[in-house]
A and B are shown apart, each in its own frame.
Chain A
Amino acid sequence: MEIIMSILSGILFTCGIYLLLQKQLLRVIIGTGLLSHGAHLFILTMGGFPEGAPPILKEGVEFYRDPLPQALILTSIVISFGVTSFLLVLAYKTYKTNKTDNLEELRGTEHE
């Protein structure tokens, strides 16, 4: 299972990076979304999937899933949500100000 999940997060990263390299801002933001999905899956996969109950303590259960990666991912999800929403509004504002959402046109005229 871990192999499949590693491949899946690899594919998510590939698509995310590919979208990041595109010109249109919307695609770039979708790319960041894919990247964060990939990263979350990656963290979870690193924890491994041994058999076990959800990490909520119960009488009589001996094996639980690893709670630490879950806590980390939870933090990460919230942060990436904040960043993504910020990016979206930034893209909206950029488009309003510059009348273009093409990254190639958004670059400065002077090379610096």
Chain B
Amino acid sequence: MLHFLIIAPLIMAILAPILFKKIKGVHTGWFILVVPLFIFIYLLSLVSTVIHKPLFLQLNWMPSLGINFDLYVDGLSMLFGLLITGIGSLVVFYSIYYLHKTEKLGHFYVYLLMFMTAMLGVVFSDNLFVFYMFWEFTSLSSFLLIGFWNHREKSRYGAQKSMLITVFGGLSMLAGLVWMSIVVGTNSIRGLIQHADVIIQSDYFLPILLLVLLGAFTKSAQFPFHTWLPDAMEAPTPVSAYLHSATMVKAGIYLVARLSILFSGTDEFFLIVSGFGLLTLCWGSYNAVKHTDLKGILAYSTISQLGMIMAMLGFGTGVAVFAAIFHILNHATFKGSLFMVAGIVDHETGTRDIRRLGGLFTLMPITATLAIFGVFSMAGIPLPILNGFLSKEMFFDAAVDLRLESGSIYQMVAPFFPVIAVIGSIFTFVYSMILYFQTFTGELKLSKLERKPHDPPLGMLLSPFVLVVLIIVIALFPGPFNHYLLTPAVAAVMGSEVPHTKIYFWHGFFNAPLFMSLIVLFTGTLLYFTRSKWVHVYDRFPGSWSMNKAYDSIVGGIFKGSATLTNTYMTGSLRNYFRIIIGFIAILGLYTIYITTGFKFDQVTNSALAIPELIIALTMMIAAISIIFISNRIAAILALGVVGYGLSLLFVFFSAPDLALTQLSVETVSVALFLLCFYHLPKLKPEKDTSGSKLINIIVSVAFGLMITFIGIASHSSKWFESISDYFLKYSYKLGGGDNVVNVILVDMRGLDTMLEICVLGIAALGILAMIKYSRKGDVE
């Protein structure tokens, strides 16, 4: 059943365009909505089973390769599955009101459903390679969704950027996964986890870890790969809400969480994951402050929140993992609602620029009220009705608790991590305040808006409303969520039952987390009210340190570099290519002779010198060399003739009568042909060549000639086995009925060669005829 449900969105994706074309009256989204809703309900029905015993469902796909569509459902994948389908349903519902029927809805829902299948596949797959397949499928469908409005240049840029970065990470991850499966000898994720010690103790542990984390970091927009996410905001807002806040960017988180049983406990994992997580937290929240675009702020805020979750997974302690899982849930609720609110504001006012917005509270009271919960939850305002506050407290708690861990690495970082966490949270607070108060309070700038805003239709408000209700419900009644979702998920990540963690409404007075929250609140408020003084600091830094510039220069540099490289050797000059080819052959040949024992010089098998042959050989040498220097056409052709006739004389001396005959006649015809043609060709000009290129020519040709000579001497001096010619000599008469062995070989023993050689002659003749007789129009005859 679950197998079918994972594929169900894909099947629906086939129907979506048909529904869009055939049924014009109803918004296509209504049909689509059924799918995620049904899967959501089905998954809910599984929850009570899964908390007791994880499900394992097998389906053979390519058993001979060990690639099977096996599913594993435990608390962690269940949490993600519910998020994907639950928020998916809300997003589809929201998109029904957000996207007008004139948009290419057929395309939109196909991409969205593809994405849903891919994401469900990622979280439920147990097989490494199936997991990877779905992983890349999310990259692909995300690419299509970001570029949905493909007539806009920025959409295309954003789509390309996200594709390049996430696929780069995905491929690195594939290398890591393959490596792991080779080390352990299984393709199953559960199998890997059971053999964690094999991987940790293998020599390749560090490269495997780095490669896998590269996949997770690029997907989850961790520093320095976060740069694709803000540009992905060109996608329609429902897509941003779904992919870039709640689901796809959590795929990397899922991967780290899934494999943290494997890696956690090692110092490398702790340092890399929590270090980069905290760095991303600070960098993202700091950068969010200076943005003026609502979705830009939300994108950087997503980056920083993902960094926070990643950091907690890196801590790897019970409370930290619990906080991470809790925050995954909380972040999905409040960030989803905030994106939807941003979409509503955009929809109603025509702009997302906070410099043009302000004072919308009076005009859009419902939207503003919904936003206040999301924003305050994101900021972690100490109110026990906001789930963000609860998980942030736990985050601080986890950071402070690090000092209690044994191990030198924990002791080393323990003083710093809480401080970094607080700094990141301060900026989180500041941008949250900017986001809310700049949009909904202050002066109303109606003149700058395209239309007079008012609250949107109820349908559009329903999805954010549901999420806001969830924010409050999770905060007020965390018990059931804890029991059914969080505890099983934490157990799946930690690999064992954790001591029952309670979610406190209130940590009580005089403890570190509350104290840290108060610092955040106080400093954040101060920074918010004095922000006009800080503006130039935000503008100046990071300035040229932005990762966008790095990305642009890398991509641009690759284009430019490859163009330069190609232009250096693809010059269009045949001589140049020929030089390179011959030069390489010569270098390879000579080098091979040099490094191997291939070169032998053996006098024994040499036949005796004979004076007539020697004289002919000398003549041929002189003739060949003189051709180079001759600048008279006839003389050159005749010198070539001398070489040819010399060769036929050699054939005579070496007892090859047929060869001598053929060579003589062919040479005669060739010389005649040359003489016929040269009449039409221009006179030989003395070669005007730079001395440099002349030198290269000389070196290349001499090297090649040397190679030929060496090969000749070496192969003559080493006889490995007897020639098969004895057979020909013995059976020429018996089998072929002829005395002339060469001719018997040509027409009898190896007749196929001769037939094809006749073909060659025929084709050459036809080609010559065609060239002379027929020509294209406009060619000079």
Q: Which of B628, B724, B725, B753 contacts A15 (CB 8 A)?
A: B628
Binding site for A on B (CB under 8 A): 566-567, 570-575, 578-579, 582, 605-610, 613-614, 617, 620-621, 624-625, 627-628, 633, 636-637, 640, 643-644, 647, 650-651, 654-659, 662-663, 666, 669-670, 673-674, 677-678, 680-682, 684-685, 687, 689, 697-698, 700-702, 704-706, 708-709, 712-713, 715-716, 723-725, 728-729, 732-733, 739-742, 745-746, 750, 753-754, 757, 760-761, 763-765, 767-768, 771-772, 775, 779-781
B704 lies within 8 A of A13 (CB): yes
B residues in contact with A3, CB < 8 Å: 606, 713
23 A–B contact pairs at CB < 8 A? A3-B713, A6-B712, A8-B620, A10-B709, A20-B578, A27-B684, A38-B708, A56-B740, A57-B740, A67-B741, A68-B724, A68-B725, A75-B746, A77-B666, A82-B763, A85-B670, A89-B772, A90-B771, A93-B771, A96-B781, A107-B573, A111-B566, A111-B571
A25 to chain B, nearest CB (A): 7
Which interface residue of B582, B627, B742, B767 has the most chain A CB atoms within 10 A? B742
A1 lies within 8 A of B685 (CB): no
Binding site for B on A (CB under 8 A): 1-27, 29-30, 33-34, 37-38, 40-42, 44-58, 64-68, 70-71, 73-75, 77-79, 81-86, 88-93, 95-97, 101, 103-104, 106-108, 110-112
Bound-state CA distance A112–B573 (Å) is: 10
Which interface residue of A53, A64, A67 has the most chain B CB atoms within 10 A? A67
A9 lies within 8 A of B712 (CB): yes
B633 lies within 8 A of A26 (CB): yes
B residues in contact with A23, CB < 8 Å: 575, 687, 689
B729 lies within 8 A of A64 (CB): yes
Query: Please, which residue of chain A has its CB at the minimum distance from the CB of B780?
Result: A96
Query: Please, which residue of chain B has its CB at the minimum distance from the CB of A7?
Result: B709
A65 lies within 8 A of B654 (CB): yes
Bound-state CA distance A41–B709 (Å) is: 12
A18 lies within 8 A of B697 (CB): yes
A30 lies within 8 A of B636 (CB): yes
Bound-state CA distance A103–B689 (Å) is: 13
A44 lies within 8 A of B716 (CB): no
Q: Which of A20, A57, A70 contacts B659 (CB 8 A)?
A: A70
B residues in contact with A96, CB < 8 Å: 680, 779-781
A91 to chain B, nearest CB (A): 7
Closest 5 CB pairs of A and B: A14-B705, A6-B712, A10-B709, A82-B764, A17-B701
Known: A4-B614, A15-B628, A75-B746. A92 touches B681 (CB 8 A): yes
A22 to chain B, nearest CB (A): 6
Which interface residue of B567, B624, B723 has the most chain A CB atoms within 10 A? B624
B637 lies within 8 A of A30 (CB): yes
Which interface residue of A52, A65, A106 has the most chain B CB atoms within 10 A? A65
Bound-state CA distance A49–B613 (Å) is: 12
A11 to chain B, nearest CB (A): 5
A88 lies within 8 A of B740 (CB): no
Bound-state CA distance A92–B685 (Å) is: 17
B607 lies within 8 A of A2 (CB): yes
B741 lies within 8 A of A57 (CB): yes
A26 to chain B, nearest CB (A): 5
A111 lies within 8 A of B768 (CB): no
B residues in contact with A16, CB < 8 Å: 701
Bound-state CA distance A73–B578 (Å) is: 25
A residues in contact with B662, CB < 8 Å: 74, 77-78
B701 lies within 8 A of A92 (CB): no
Q: Which of A1, A74, A82, A108 contacts B610 (CB 8 A)?
A: A1
A2 lies within 8 A of B606 (CB): yes
A81 lies within 8 A of B669 (CB): yes
A33 lies within 8 A of B670 (CB): yes
Known: A8-B617, A34-B640, A101-B682. A111 touches B567 (CB 8 A): yes
5 other A-B residue contacts (CB within 8 Å) besides A81-B666, A96-B781 = A21-B582, A33-B640, A34-B627, A78-B666, A88-B674
A24 lies within 8 A of B685 (CB): yes
B572 lies within 8 A of A110 (CB): yes
Query: Please, which residue of chain A has its CB at the minimum distance from the CB of B575?
Result: A21
Which interface residue of A8, A19, A37 has the most chain B CB atoms within 10 A? A8
B residues in contact with A64, CB < 8 Å: 729, 741
A residues in contact with B768, CB < 8 Å: 85-86, 89
A33 to chain B, nearest CB (A): 5
Bound-state CA distance A22–B716 (Å) is: 32
Bound-state CA distance A107–B573 (Å) is: 6
A84 lies within 8 A of B567 (CB): no
Q: Which of A26, A37, A54, A101 contacts B643 (CB 8 A)?
A: A37
Query: Please, which residue of chain A has its CB at the minimum distance from the CB of B679?
Result: A92
Bound-state CA distance A23–B567 (Å) is: 21
B residues in contact with A27, CB < 8 Å: 636, 684, 687
A residues in contact with B700, CB < 8 Å: 17, 21
Bound-state CA distance A74–B187 (Å) is: 59
B residues in contact with A41, CB < 8 Å: 647, 650
A104 lies within 8 A of B742 (CB): no
A residues in contact with B767, CB < 8 Å: 86, 89
A residues in contact with B633, CB < 8 Å: 26
B residues in contact with A22, CB < 8 Å: 575, 687, 689, 697
B644 lies within 8 A of A33 (CB): yes
B residues in contact with A73, CB < 8 Å: 656, 659
Query: Please, which residue of chain A has its CB at the minimum distance from the CB of B715?
Result: A46
Q: Which of B607, B740, B754 contacts A48 (CB 8 A)?
A: B607
B745 lies within 8 A of A18 (CB): no
Query: Please, which residue of chain A has its CB at the minimum distance from the CB of B573?
Result: A107
B656 lies within 8 A of A70 (CB): yes
A residues in contact with B572, CB < 8 Å: 107-108, 110-112
A residues in contact with B685, CB < 8 Å: 24
A residues in contact with B680, CB < 8 Å: 92, 95-96
B617 lies within 8 A of A4 (CB): yes
A residues in contact with B670, CB < 8 Å: 33, 81, 84-85
A18 lies within 8 A of B698 (CB): yes
A57 lies within 8 A of B624 (CB): no
Query: Please, which residue of chain A has its CB at the minimum distance from the CB of B727?
Result: A68
A residues in contact with B746, CB < 8 Å: 71, 74-75
A residues in contact with B684, CB < 8 Å: 24, 26-27
A5 lies within 8 A of B725 (CB): no
B residues in contact with A15, CB < 8 Å: 624-625, 627-628, 701, 705
B448 to chain A, nearest CB (A): 50
B residues in contact with A42, CB < 8 Å: 708, 712
B residues in contact with A106, CB < 8 Å: 574
A residues in contact with B582, CB < 8 Å: 17, 20-21
